[in-house]
Amino acid sequence: MEEPAPSCACAAARAPPFHHHTHPMTTTTADPQPATAVPPPPAAAVILPLAQLAESPTNPRQRYGDLTELIDSIRRQGVLQPVLARPLDQDRYELVFGHRRFRAAREAGLTALPAMVREMTDLEVLEAQLVENCQRVDIHPLDEAEGYRRLHEEHGYSVDDIAAKVGKSKAAVYARLKLCSLAPAARKAFLEERLSPSVALLVARIPDRELQDQATKELTRGADFRPMSVREAEEFIQENYMLRLAEAPFDPKDAELLANAGPCTTCPKRTGNQALLFPDVKSADVCTDPVCFDKKAAAAWARRVETAKAAGQEVLPDKKCRQLFPYGDGRLAYDTPFIDLHERCPVDPKNRHWRNLIGKQNPPTILARDADGNSHELVKREDAAKALKEAGYTWAKGRTADGTTRPRDPSFAKQQQKAKESAEVVRRAIVAVLEAAAGKALDRAWWRLMLRWLVEFSWSDAVRQIVKRRGLKTGKRTDGVIGKDNEGALLELVDNADEAELQQLLLELVVTRGGYVGNWSTNTCGDALVAACAFYGVDLKAITSEVRAAKPGRAKKSAHKDTTPAVRRGRKAAKTSKKSKRANAAEAA
């Protein structure tokens, strides 16, 4: 909390006049020397009327938080620590820092407050404000970033100069300056605390503003409608908004490919050229501007098409290319009428590339490109078969007409037709079910239907854990006959549970199935369980700390494990079902 103010008894006091000073509003043109310790000029302690004080337009702090406690303190004790001001003219002063005290004093009803008055240039004011505010933990990173930007752009400070002035590392200054690149939507999300400072920096590193907006929506929503963690956000942005230059469908060194873009090797949007901004990206050869990357890929393709057409080579239209390369990994679709010269021949005993096998025969080639913009030279299968025979490859004899695959099953076409018909039946049936279910009440029969399907399609481990947690009986009976398995035991519970228990069981099945992660994962729990904990207000961090604090081999079972009302009701329902069956059997006997 900031210090409060003198009593209003001195409110009428006037500041002494200032003589023989030049107007301080001009900016110094000398080179900045932030690392040199120069003692400040002497300051006069005075009492200044609030009416003569004006807030500084260069103050980095734009958000002042809740002033209630400070106002109450000033009403009780006054302002105990003077603000800093500089003279503008005979009766006007600019507040350098102490804006929270100034605002709180005004709200508390004071008419004056103590101040230290000092002659200062614009640059000295900005430096003082930055140094003073950077020592506070409550200043917003965007406010701090804006102050750094002004020093850098308006006063010629280098990053080294700023780092020395504010006592921070170069990496920290670079990171703050980058926050100034945030698009309005991302900036708004940051100010509303929907983006953390670390995640906001990840977004700010995306050069394109539309992509920033898209990333902001995805990061704040998350895969399970919760904001992503920093680690999740790093992985997500690297996977979706960064591209490996080693896999680019163009030459990264080509300076003439795209006007005003230059080569990728010296581009500031290449991770290796701004290592301090991209410490989380392992490779130095990564492009962070997908828009520029796509433009270069398009330019490279246009250049390739022009060359191909000039040589009389056929070029496939994009629609046909999308059909030929449906998988997104540059592989041709199965059973296409072409082979790719870049791929290996599947029937070659030595597994050589097609280009090495038939390149000298020079069959007609067709130019195409995949979804990533990579170009491919294709050859019709019959032309490839002919080239293989001309090259004298004896292993190609006895193959199909094109010589490239094993003899095809005559029923293959019928199988394909049957698969298409089946897919269409499924599609229409799903639409019909959804239409029939629209507006219907979700009664017990509906919940039972859903649970039976989920149990049957769920992982056996998840079913086994639920059966164990609820104490359901499986395995051999006393008469030696094999009894129910885990799935059968759980399905029996489903058949006998009421609607509330079915809903609870559905939740249990989902969080059990989606709660565990593999040993390779860096997360403790799966996304489904994390989302459920957040939805129901369960403190997952506290549970994690409790488990990690327990000694190995002596971990105590949670007091609430297996004793929730739903679990107890499930056990009771299972026991009741067994008793009913025994009674019915005895009665029948």
Q: Tell me the domains of the chain and their CATH numbers.
A: 8-173 (3.90.1530.30), 451-588 (no CATH)
**Encoded tokens for 390:** 């001309």
- Per-residue pLDDT, 177: 92
Asked if residue 220 lies in contact with residue 528, where contact means CB atoms within 8 angstroms, the answer is: no
* Of the candidate ranges 119-123, 130-134, 228-232, the one whose mean pLDDT is the lowest: 130-134
- In degrees, rounded to 5, the angle at the alpha carbon of residue 81 between the alpha carbons of residues 76 and 87 is 125
The pLDDT tens digits for 398-441 are 555 444 444 455 565 677 677 777 777 777 777 787 777 777 77
Rounded Cα distance, 424 and 419, in Å: 9
- Per-residue pLDDT, 397: 65
In terms of Cα–Cα distance, which of 366, 349, 361 is closest to 385? 361
In terms of Cα–Cα distance, which of 120, 125, 112, 122 is closest to 53? 112
Higher pLDDT, 32 or 75: 75
**Encoded tokens for 454:** 């989920």
Average pLDDT over residues 309-333: 91
The pLDDT tens digits for 429-485 are 777 877 777 777 778 888 888 888 788 777 777 888 888 888 887 764 444 444 457
Residue 5 predicted with pLDDT over 50: no
In terms of average pLDDT, the best of 44-48, 62-66, 541-545 is 541-545
Tell me if residue 398 falls in helix, strand or coil: coil
Asked if residue 338 lies in contact with residue 379, where contact means CB atoms within 8 angstroms, the answer is: yes
Task: Name beta bridge partners: 116.
Answer: 45, 84
Rounded Cα distance, 355 and 486, in Å: 56
- Per-residue pLDDT, 441: 76
pTM for the predicted model, two decimal places: 0.56
The pLDDT tens digits for 484-515 are 578 888 888 888 888 888 888 888 888 887 77
The neighbour count for residue 34, using CB atoms within 10 Å, is 19
Task: Name beta bridge partners: 314.
Answer: 366
Q: What percent of the chain has pLDDT over 70?
A: 77
What amino acid is encoded at 587 in this protein? E
